A = this chain, B = another copy of it.
Amino acid sequence: MTVSVKQYLKDNREQNLERLKRFLAIPSVSTTSSHKEDVLKAGEFVRDYLNEIGFEKVNLEETGGHPLVYAEWMGAEGAPTALFYGHYDVQPAEPLELWDSEPFQAEVRDERIFARGASDDKGQVFMHLAVFEAFMKTQGALPINVKVIIEGEEEIGSENLNPYLKNNLEKLAADFALVSDSGMVETGQPTMLYGLKGFTGLEVTLRGAKRDLHSGLYGGAVKNPAMALSQLLAGMKNEHEKVLIEGFYDGIEELDQEERDLMNAAPGEDYTRSLDIPETTPEDGFTVNEHLMARPTFEVNGIFGGYQGEGTKTIIPSEATAKLTCRLVPGQDPMIIQDLLVKHIEKHVPKGVHVSVKREPLSAKAYKVDPAHPLIQSAAESLSAAFGKETVFVRLGGSIPVVESFDQLFGIPVILLGFGTPEDNLHAPNESFPVNHFDLGMEVLVDYYAKAAKLN
């Protein structure tokens, strides 16, 4: 059965590429109000395509901001239902002079499609749509039920997505979610992303005297807030990269040897070369891959206080500030971790300074699906088969907010089938996407949609 679907995709390859180029030609830059009409046009492109394929209830849904496209095909009785998510908006193309070809005039060269959105996320959204079309044209049906939401505000924070999801829990109910808005660890290296980190943060300011002081006239009488901040921060992480916040690691699941092996099998960058660092410094007892993927982190994102100009100014700064964020793993609740941070700061602030804390209002919970889950294993098999290479299993240190939303609101597994590569230049000039990832990715999807039908 799938042969003919795949054959259809081969037969229509040029046509699909041309249609993708038309999609990429719409400058649907959601961050820029002057592109409002273009964003809408891209939404209409998706809507019209889904109508043409034969989806039902196809609609540009009002959200208060840019609309999102909803559509569903529920004809696979007894088969599971997938909720497919993607976005049709893109980042600005500026600075334009750094592009080697027009950002909204896709060009294929060096076996890549160059255009804003080629990888993030129009290209990947389009692959699903083309696969849906191929199924419908050759089989008259999809192997599973599919609900589609393609939003137009991902690049501006998806502000209206969560309210929409919450208001449509029943309508959007599905057995699993499918997101293609991520990438592989290397070009051509099939990658199964089965976990993401959560996030919390805060800003701490220590204030000494109400103004900067002459270090000669006051040095010895007052606490130096920059030193106080250093002492406070140094008490929050030791030289073995262990976070010293009481309770920070509580409730985190042990990393078993099987999963460690899985992570360590993923190819690693030679960071000392690529980043020009003297050595890597993972947490004591863990490899770099293990820490990157499965251990929480605590980072100073910024620190500042006192004189920053040329030369010397002999002051005792009035205040010093640090911006702190943590990446969290399953078992850590972002709100509880933030509380622990605040408690630690209040308990350990050196004497002689006033302390104030600004809590970061945004947070995210970590997400993880069991790598042995049949939906994950099937995806990995489809990836390995199409790319002719064993799939690696990785967890990512970053967050993808929509994944957390699906996890929290629907409690369903989220399958991250990402086809991008580290060389795609996301959000940068010369964004591109490998042509063969376009071809092979669609093979994966054909295979995976068919496999998913049997997993109910």
Residues of chain A at the chain B interface (Cβ within 8 Å): 197, 199, 201, 203, 208-211, 213-224, 226-227, 229-235, 237, 239, 241, 271, 275-283, 286, 288, 291-292, 295, 297, 299-308, 311-317, 320-323, 325, 327, 350-354, 360, 362, 396-399
One of B223, B283, B303, B316 near A306 (C-beta < 8 A): B303
For residue A314, which residues in chain B have a CB less than 8 angstroms away from its CB?
Answer: 199, 201, 299, 301, 325
Known: A222-B280, A227-B237, A278-B353. A303 touches B301 (CB 8 A): no
Known: A208-B277, A226-B303, A323-B307. A271 touches B316 (CB 8 A): no
| Chain B residue nearest to A214 in the complex (CB) | B398
Contact between chains at B397 and A220 (CB < 8 Å): yes
For residue A396, which residues in chain B have a CB less than 8 angstroms away from its CB?
Answer: 216-217
For residue A241, which residues in chain B have a CB less than 8 angstroms away from its CB?
Answer: 220
For residue A230, which residues in chain B have a CB less than 8 angstroms away from its CB?
Answer: 229-234, 300, 303, 322
Contact between chains at B233 and A277 (CB < 8 Å): no
Contact between chains at B398 and A352 (CB < 8 Å): no
Known: A215-B297, A234-B230, A303-B226. A220 touches B315 (CB 8 A): no
A395–chain B nearest beta-carbon distance, Å? 11
Contact between chains at B351 and A281 (CB < 8 Å): yes
Instruction: Determine how many copies of this chain the complex contains.
Output: 2
CA distance A306 to B325 in the complex (A): 13
CA distance A223 to B305 in the complex (A): 21
A257–chain B nearest beta-carbon distance, Å? 19
One of B226, B277, B288 near A209 (C-beta < 8 A): B277
One of B223, B227, B282, B308 near A220 (C-beta < 8 A): B282
For residue A271, which residues in chain B have a CB less than 8 angstroms away from its CB?
Answer: 209, 218, 221-222
A286–chain B nearest beta-carbon distance, Å? 8
Contact between chains at B288 and A397 (CB < 8 Å): no
A334–chain B nearest beta-carbon distance, Å? 13
Closest 8 CB pairs of A and B: A216-B398, A220-B291, A234-B234, A219-B297, A302-B306, A302-B307, A209-B275, A226-B300
Contact between chains at B282 and A221 (CB < 8 Å): yes
One of B278, B299, B305, B362 near A215 (C-beta < 8 A): B299
A289–chain B nearest beta-carbon distance, Å? 9
Contact between chains at A303 and B302 (CB < 8 Å): no
For residue A360, which residues in chain B have a CB less than 8 angstroms away from its CB?
Answer: 311-312
A317–chain B nearest beta-carbon distance, Å? 7
Contact between chains at B353 and A215 (CB < 8 Å): no
For residue A229, which residues in chain B have a CB less than 8 angstroms away from its CB?
Answer: 230, 303
| Chain B residue nearest to A362 in the complex (CB) | B312
CA distance A209 to B360 in the complex (A): 26
Interchain residue pairs with CB less than 8 A apart (16): A209-B275, A213-B275, A214-B398, A216-B398, A220-B241, A220-B295, A220-B397, A224-B299, A226-B300, A226-B322, A227-B233, A230-B322, A231-B233, A301-B307, A301-B313, A307-B323
One of B222, B233, B292, B302 near A317 (C-beta < 8 A): B302
One of B203, B217, B277, B286 near A398 (C-beta < 8 A): B217
Contact between chains at A303 and B300 (CB < 8 Å): no
For residue A354, which residues in chain B have a CB less than 8 angstroms away from its CB?
Answer: 277-278
CA distance A280 to B232 in the complex (A): 18
Contact between chains at A397 and B222 (CB < 8 Å): no
For residue A325, which residues in chain B have a CB less than 8 angstroms away from its CB?
Answer: 215, 312, 314
- Excluding A300-B305, A303-B317, 10 further A-B contacts by CB distance (< 8 Å) are A208-B277, A211-B275, A214-B398, A217-B292, A224-B299, A230-B300, A230-B303, A231-B237, A303-B306, A308-B321
Of A221, A281, A306, chain B has the most CB atoms within 10 Å of the CB of A221
For residue A217, which residues in chain B have a CB less than 8 angstroms away from its CB?
Answer: 292, 396-398
For residue A213, which residues in chain B have a CB less than 8 angstroms away from its CB?
Answer: 275
| Chain B residue nearest to A300 in the complex (CB) | B226
For residue A315, which residues in chain B have a CB less than 8 angstroms away from its CB?
Answer: 301-302
Contact between chains at B304 and A308 (CB < 8 Å): yes
A198–chain B nearest beta-carbon distance, Å? 10
Contact between chains at A304 and B301 (CB < 8 Å): no
Contact between chains at B199 and A300 (CB < 8 Å): no
